[in-house]
Structure 1
Amino acid sequence: MHLLELISQYLKIDEHIEHFFREETETKTYSKGEILTHQNSYSQKVFFMEKGLARVFYYENGKDITTNFYPEGRVFGNIDTIFTQKPTQYNIETLEESTITFCNYEKLNQLCEVSLPAANFSRYLLGNLMTQLITRLASLQHTTARERYAQLLSENPDIILRAPLGMVASYLGISQETLSRIRGKEI
């Protein structure tokens, strides 16, 4: 399993972790455009992108606003509902045919109670997620559109080729016309 191989790079796989991945996770292939979770619903799933691309988005004043992209190797979910037990504000959608491994957060939490390596890895993942959120917030508050575009190209250059430009523009907090002008100046 690809996810287990990835995790084994960070922690020693004990019997609890092995059992968890064998019994408590599921891997499924989703078609392009499938909604994994819906705004105003509850989802306790934690997803790992094996192959493909997904995005998180919400609707505001009739507009579709992309907040993040998740390519291969990324962990994601509706953190707002997992930790607050309130309906999520976000939708998660596949942008390509995607193979995703997922599990229930509560089951993952139970694993962390019996496996110190799993608990340590969970803290590592949460730290990464918090760092990503802080970096994203700082980017939106303190950088120009051109700088955000350059950052996207340096961190995830293939997103420009894989996601529709309207979604990329929304993610960057700019109009599609502004994105086109920025891209035109890079040639």
Structure 2
Amino acid sequence: MKPDALTEDFFRYQTQTQTFAKGELLSQQNTYNRNVYYMENGLARTFYFEKGKDITTNFYSEGNSFGSIDTIFNNVPSIYNIEALEESTVTFCDYKKLEELCSVSLTSANFSRFLLGNIMTQMSKRISSLQHMTAKEKYAQLLEENPNIILRAPLGMIASYLGISQETLSRIRSEI
């Protein structure tokens, strides 16, 4: 589908591309961040704090779209942080501006649906894995779908993402 002039102008003037340093926050919990992000290059994660520990909820590498869905759709401060785990180049825009464009551009509306569909699919798969898979199955799925995460993210973050201890992760890794 060829972009229309409105969509081209939007991507030229309403999006930003920024490089974030390793450890830099793209979004901080308890804030209203309405940006939708696209990972050009690098690795980021979403996480929150519970009982003094940070809990990783997702990883985003090249080609992934992400954002603070709780803020975007419910207009509440996000409970999540988004952190660059390595130097990351990200393109982003304000979701409200994208919605305004969608009201006048079918091409953009279709793109927005595609973007949100990807985010919802990621969330659905994540919830399903947490509810129905064993730790070993979750690790095997991570290896199959995102093998680069294993090489790029610290093991403690991977363990918290899988909902297991680092010791359990080490045992699973030695069995595979």
TM over 0.5: yes
State the match for 1:41 in structure 2: 31
State the match for 1:114 in structure 2: 104
Gaps of 5+ in 1: 1-10
SS at structure 2 position matched to 1:114: coil
2:136 & 2:144 partners in 1: Cα distance? 12
2:13 & 2:83 partners in 1: Cα distance? 26
Gaps of 5+ in 2: none
Shift of 1:42: 0.7
In the alignment, structure 1 residue 140 sits paired with structure 2 residue 130:
yes
In the alignment, structure 1 residue 183 sits paired with structure 2 residue 176:
no
1:102-127 CA distance string (max 9 Å, x none): 11111111111111011012112222
State the match for 1:170 in structure 2: 160
Residue of structure 1 aligned with 2:14, choices 24, 30, 34:
24
2:36 & 2:58 partners in 1: Cα distance? 15
1:131 & 1:77 partners in 2: Cα distance? 14
1:66-109 CA distance string (max 9 Å, x none): 00000001111101001111100100000000111111111111
State the match for 1:12 in structure 2: 2
In the alignment, structure 1 residue 150 sits paired with structure 2 residue 140:
yes
State the match for 1:3 in structure 2: none
Shift of 1:56: 0.3
Identity fraction in percent: 66
CA contact (8 A) 2:65 2:118 kept: no
2:117 & 2:42 partners in 1: Cα distance? 24
Shift of 1:128: 2.3
In the alignment, structure 1 residue 57 sits paired with structure 2 residue 47:
yes
